[in-house]
A and B are shown apart, each in its own frame.
Chain A
């Protein structure tokens, strides 16, 4: 009963956030604080493993003691919190947008291995959440002053994206999927924390020593010196 209530509350929260997210309807919210608050709440919501990882583990039969320990984020799949903190605001938004684009693509692949419609329905909901979040990211990028490169809003349909490295057998696909989703939730947690460090005004720069960030991940991170843009595959160190 309590779980149902929790689920309903979360669902209503998400729907509310989605409906509040005006970019989904074609226009952006121009209030910085309100938009930032929405992004924080969305990130908080999406970091819950109950929304994606937990059902995936259950459906794929990975909820066994010997297997859970292998369901850990593979380093380098998602940018670390440190790396995100060292980005400029525009760069931060761009990395989120790009990373979530990969997540959407990977979700489509993962969902192919799930036969039951009711399980698919749950996981498909998360795709909607991610699209809503990406739209808000796009709107936030427009609010930031002096942004040279804006993030693009997420189309409603499936987007063409490079396919991941093929994994030969179903078991390895499951483990990789599990690790990926674990990293996704951790990434959203970091995103939420970084958003909380943002100031009251869109004009204040929050960047902490971007050069140090560049140096730190120089051997694996390919960042444009102009835009501090992260490459899609997220090679930032954790």
Chain B
């Protein structure tokens, strides 16, 4: 910016050149001057002065209108240099202009000045490289056109020098366009103070110190006010001296100024204050007097006030009233005992400008006597020979009650006996009472009472006859909107109809409801929020005679929405045959169900591909296919499944269904039909078994006889008669030989090859081997040594393994020769057995002679002291001793054959 103080004539022309030979701009400046006056004229160069040298010269001329054209100019002054660059210092790089404030959309010229043109300098605007115009080797100019608003803190433009890493930049403070104030308006509430408001428009986004200022100027008075708020300003009016006002609102910041004007008459801009002190007087059931006060506006100003009356949230009355100071209005046609809200607002009556704010208050009208009789119904029960009558009534509506109902009066009049009346007073809000009555006819009067009076009486008559005639129950189809009921018109006179039902039929308390209908009505729709799907509702329709006696006309039952059954019956199987079985579910209750039961579905699974007659294929939810029987009779409780295959496996499931569908599928029950031949077999087998049993018993009873016949006893040689005969005739020493008396002289050992387990028949005849036993020292007097074994016993376990041919272990003759007595022999045999078992190869010997005393148990192999021989080789000799059952296997005594004797 250049600023010069010069002496000029009336009109000046200034020429500004960046260089002497290239003038960039030429501007005119006109002013009225006095002689010898010093003028100050500032202008701003688009190119910052720091960027390069600037030159300026000027000339002046007269611009008086009295002087005709052409006008004459004076001579140019000499060029004057503006050299700011010299004051920049010695910074290697500088960017200009510094911290410039511009408006959004402006054009800005920026330059950098470097001290050395050998450096590589790149410049960026908000991180994006920009390219400029090289003014000279050290100066580059950038023309930034239409600069945008980016952020409140300004736009960064910077240049970097390489090498050296020097960075210099500027912040361009870009302001949003400063808008003109909108909706400038002034008004007064008391003709003393003017309040002017306006919308300042959107924020310029400038720093706080650059925020705009607002000034209010009134041209008639010449007064000016600097506003301290950005959207409103107060002005002290002078109603007595000034009626017209011409305001100018000037808003401005460092970049721009905006002005708006407003001309008005003060009395035309009156915005009254809200009325106050709203009161309601003389409030009756239907009328109320409303009063209020208004703030005075000047002298004798008339206000127009508007009154609105709200009842139950709606405007029910609206009236206008002219008011000077106090307002008053009589509100009519109100409902008794009703709360109302009244509100009032006012405006200047002569020159409407704006309504005041509302002032509101509420009031309640007084009570009146109830206008309608309560709706009454009864429920009659017989308890222990008495009638228990429950009397119900519905609370009166607000319009009918016309006040707060305090109590109900019930008057009982016996129609059969002497004219007696009984009064019961039941406090509100009770809606029923229970009466124990005899079987006389009674007329009951019910009235509702508030603090003002009594309602008309509702009358109902209880006759002696209970009137519960048998009426067939009809089904009715309900919808979500309710039940549509209709009935036949009655030939005799009726005063009306009553439809009653229980709202909660599953609840013991029932919650009796009724609907009163006129005498000309023969249909109605009963709806209730309490109706639930799947619940059966029973409706009774009564006619009310002229004597006010109700009599039952029709019964209806139905569901608001039928549902599918929730469970399935427990089915029992009976009469199971080869081709059929019977299903029974007699114990299952068909009521209550969530819909009218229409029948049952029986699902039968079998291996058969085709369904039996009477059934059809059905696909279950799990995708399996089965046969389905339809039982259309809901009362049917048994079903015979026929034409089945004998001895076949079936699965079945029975479920009820309503119009809404079938019950849930549960577990299938399994059943197998009987075999066709089983009965025949039973008829044959049972007698046969009986016969065999009989025969067995018979044999047992005759066992002694059988034994004698089939297995006679072996004769005892001691008791033989032959023995006595020999004793008497021959040697008296001759007797039965004992084994103790025998001295063995030879033992026959039978060698067998492998596979000695062959049977005797299969075994080849073996050549016996004899062991010659030396005679003992004691010579026998008899005819020579002999060996006699009496009653050999073989261990069964050994014999099983060893085969049927027992034999002694193979012994060397030399060893045996050392033995001198039978005891020694036995001892040696027993000892050698143990020792030799391990030595004798398996299969070489098939008979082992075992001493009873030293013998280990064959079955107890683990207890063998040495390696036990192969079980096939094991055979034992046992002396005549009792063998404990636990130590030996069950004995299997095998009789010795001829060739297998020990000698």
Name A's B-contacting residues (CB within 8 A): 59-62, 64-67, 70, 113-116, 168-172, 174-175
B151 and chain A: residue at smallest CB distance: A61
**A174 surroundings in chain B (CB, below 8 A):** 156, 171
The contact sample of 9 A-B pairs, CB cut-off 8 A, is A61-B154, A67-B158, A170-B99, A170-B170, A170-B171, A170-B173, A171-B169, A172-B168, A172-B169
- Kindly state whether residue B254 has any CB partner on chain A within 8 Å: no
**B126 surroundings in chain A (CB, below 8 A):** 61, 64
| B153 engages A113 (CB within 8 Å) | yes
| B153 engages A61 (CB within 8 Å) | yes
Selected contact of A116 from candidates B99, B127, B152, B173, CB within 8 Å: B152
| A169 engages B207 (CB within 8 Å) | no
| B158 engages A61 (CB within 8 Å) | no
The answer for the CA separation of A211 and B572 in the assembled complex, in Å, is 106
- Kindly state whether residue B667 has any CB partner on chain A within 8 Å: no
- Kindly state whether residue B862 has any CB partner on chain A within 8 Å: no
| B153 engages A171 (CB within 8 Å) | no
A61 and chain B: residue at smallest CB distance: B156
- Kindly state whether residue B381 has any CB partner on chain A within 8 Å: no
**B158 surroundings in chain A (CB, below 8 A):** 66-67, 171
B97 and chain A: residue at smallest CB distance: A169
**B155 surroundings in chain A (CB, below 8 A):** 61
Contact A171-B170, Cβ < 8 Å, known A61-B126, A115-B152: yes
**A172 surroundings in chain B (CB, below 8 A):** 168-169
- Kindly state whether residue B160 has any CB partner on chain A within 8 Å: yes
Name B's A-contacting residues (CB within 8 A): 95, 98-99, 124, 126-127, 150-156, 158, 160, 167-171, 173, 205-208
**B173 surroundings in chain A (CB, below 8 A):** 170
| B168 engages A60 (CB within 8 Å) | no
The answer for the CA separation of A115 and B173 in the assembled complex, in Å, is 12
The answer for the CA separation of A114 and B207 in the assembled complex, in Å, is 8
* 7 extra A-B contacts, CB within 8 A, seeds A64-B124, A115-B208, A116-B152: A64-B126, A115-B153, A169-B171, A170-B99, A171-B170, A172-B168, A172-B169
**A60 surroundings in chain B (CB, below 8 A):** 153, 156
**B152 surroundings in chain A (CB, below 8 A):** 115-116
The answer for the CA separation of A59 and B151 in the assembled complex, in Å, is 8
B170 and chain A: residue at smallest CB distance: A171
| B171 engages A64 (CB within 8 Å) | no
**A175 surroundings in chain B (CB, below 8 A):** 167, 169
The answer for the CA separation of A113 and B156 in the assembled complex, in Å, is 14
Distance in Å: Cβ of A19 to nearest Cβ of chain B: 33
Distance in Å: Cβ of A107 to nearest Cβ of chain B: 16
Selected contact of B167 from candidates A59, A65, A70, CB within 8 Å: A70
The answer for the CA separation of A175 and B156 in the assembled complex, in Å, is 11
**B168 surroundings in chain A (CB, below 8 A):** 171-172
The 10 closest A-B pairs by CB, nearest first: A64-B127, A170-B171, A171-B169, A169-B98, A115-B152, A115-B207, A61-B156, A170-B99, A171-B171, A70-B167
| B98 engages A67 (CB within 8 Å) | no
**A61 surroundings in chain B (CB, below 8 A):** 126, 150-151, 153-156
Contact A67-B99, Cβ < 8 Å, known A169-B170, A171-B168, A171-B170: no
**B208 surroundings in chain A (CB, below 8 A):** 115
Distance in Å: Cβ of B158 to nearest Cβ of chain A: 6
The answer for the CA separation of A169 and B48 in the assembled complex, in Å, is 15
Distance in Å: Cβ of B148 to nearest Cβ of chain A: 13
Distance in Å: Cβ of B309 to nearest Cβ of chain A: 48
The answer for the CA separation of A168 and B169 in the assembled complex, in Å, is 12
| B153 engages A168 (CB within 8 Å) | no
Distance in Å: Cβ of B153 to nearest Cβ of chain A: 6
| B153 engages A169 (CB within 8 Å) | no
Selected contact of A169 from candidates B99, B150, B167, CB within 8 Å: B99
| B154 engages A66 (CB within 8 Å) | no
The answer for the CA separation of A70 and B161 in the assembled complex, in Å, is 12
The answer for the CA separation of A175 and B208 in the assembled complex, in Å, is 22
**B206 surroundings in chain A (CB, below 8 A):** 115
**B150 surroundings in chain A (CB, below 8 A):** 61
**A116 surroundings in chain B (CB, below 8 A):** 152
The answer for the CA separation of A60 and B124 in the assembled complex, in Å, is 15
| A67 engages B153 (CB within 8 Å) | no
B160 and chain A: residue at smallest CB distance: A66
| A170 engages B154 (CB within 8 Å) | yes
The answer for the CA separation of A70 and B159 in the assembled complex, in Å, is 12
Distance in Å: Cβ of A217 to nearest Cβ of chain B: 26
Distance in Å: Cβ of A106 to nearest Cβ of chain B: 17
| A114 engages B153 (CB within 8 Å) | yes
Distance in Å: Cβ of A113 to nearest Cβ of chain B: 7
The answer for the CA separation of A65 and B156 in the assembled complex, in Å, is 13
Distance in Å: Cβ of A138 to nearest Cβ of chain B: 35
The answer for the CA separation of A62 and B151 in the assembled complex, in Å, is 12
Distance in Å: Cβ of A72 to nearest Cβ of chain B: 11
The answer for the CA separation of A113 and B209 in the assembled complex, in Å, is 10
B206 and chain A: residue at smallest CB distance: A115
The answer for the CA separation of A40 and B228 in the assembled complex, in Å, is 49
A69 and chain B: residue at smallest CB distance: B165
**A66 surroundings in chain B (CB, below 8 A):** 124, 127, 158, 160
The answer for the CA separation of A70 and B160 in the assembled complex, in Å, is 10
The answer for the CA separation of A169 and B173 in the assembled complex, in Å, is 12
The answer for the CA separation of A60 and B152 in the assembled complex, in Å, is 9
The answer for the CA separation of A95 and B158 in the assembled complex, in Å, is 36
Distance in Å: Cβ of B619 to nearest Cβ of chain A: 50
A116 and chain B: residue at smallest CB distance: B152
Distance in Å: Cβ of A56 to nearest Cβ of chain B: 10
Distance in Å: Cβ of A39 to nearest Cβ of chain B: 34
Distance in Å: Cβ of A110 to nearest Cβ of chain B: 11
Distance in Å: Cβ of B650 to nearest Cβ of chain A: 62
| B127 engages A67 (CB within 8 Å) | yes
**A59 surroundings in chain B (CB, below 8 A):** 151, 153
| A65 engages B99 (CB within 8 Å) | no
| B171 engages A67 (CB within 8 Å) | no
Contact A171-B207, Cβ < 8 Å, known A64-B127, A67-B127: no
**A114 surroundings in chain B (CB, below 8 A):** 153
**B170 surroundings in chain A (CB, below 8 A):** 169-171
The answer for the CA separation of A66 and B154 in the assembled complex, in Å, is 17
**A115 surroundings in chain B (CB, below 8 A):** 152-153, 205-208
The answer for the CA separation of A46 and B632 in the assembled complex, in Å, is 84
Residue from A64, A67, A115, A116 whose CB has the most chain B CB atoms within 10 Å: A115
The answer for the CA separation of A121 and B95 in the assembled complex, in Å, is 33
Distance in Å: Cβ of A112 to nearest Cβ of chain B: 9
The answer for the CA separation of A169 and B158 in the assembled complex, in Å, is 12
The answer for the CA separation of A42 and B150 in the assembled complex, in Å, is 36
Distance in Å: Cβ of B131 to nearest Cβ of chain A: 15
| B207 engages A62 (CB within 8 Å) | no
A60 and chain B: residue at smallest CB distance: B153
**B169 surroundings in chain A (CB, below 8 A):** 171-172, 175
**A168 surroundings in chain B (CB, below 8 A):** 98
The answer for the CA separation of A61 and B174 in the assembled complex, in Å, is 13
Distance in Å: Cβ of B211 to nearest Cβ of chain A: 10
B166 and chain A: residue at smallest CB distance: A70
The answer for the CA separation of A221 and B152 in the assembled complex, in Å, is 41
The answer for the CA separation of A61 and B173 in the assembled complex, in Å, is 12
A64 and chain B: residue at smallest CB distance: B127
The answer for the CA separation of A61 and B152 in the assembled complex, in Å, is 10
Residue from B126, B171, B207 whose CB has the most chain A CB atoms within 10 Å: B171
**B156 surroundings in chain A (CB, below 8 A):** 60-62, 64, 67, 171, 174
Distance in Å: Cβ of B155 to nearest Cβ of chain A: 7
**B160 surroundings in chain A (CB, below 8 A):** 66
Distance in Å: Cβ of B157 to nearest Cβ of chain A: 8
Distance in Å: Cβ of A63 to nearest Cβ of chain B: 9
The answer for the CA separation of A60 and B156 in the assembled complex, in Å, is 8
Distance in Å: Cβ of A124 to nearest Cβ of chain B: 15
**B95 surroundings in chain A (CB, below 8 A):** 171
**A67 surroundings in chain B (CB, below 8 A):** 127, 156, 158, 167
The answer for the CA separation of A116 and B155 in the assembled complex, in Å, is 16
The answer for the CA separation of A83 and B574 in the assembled complex, in Å, is 104
Distance in Å: Cβ of B750 to nearest Cβ of chain A: 101
B127 and chain A: residue at smallest CB distance: A64
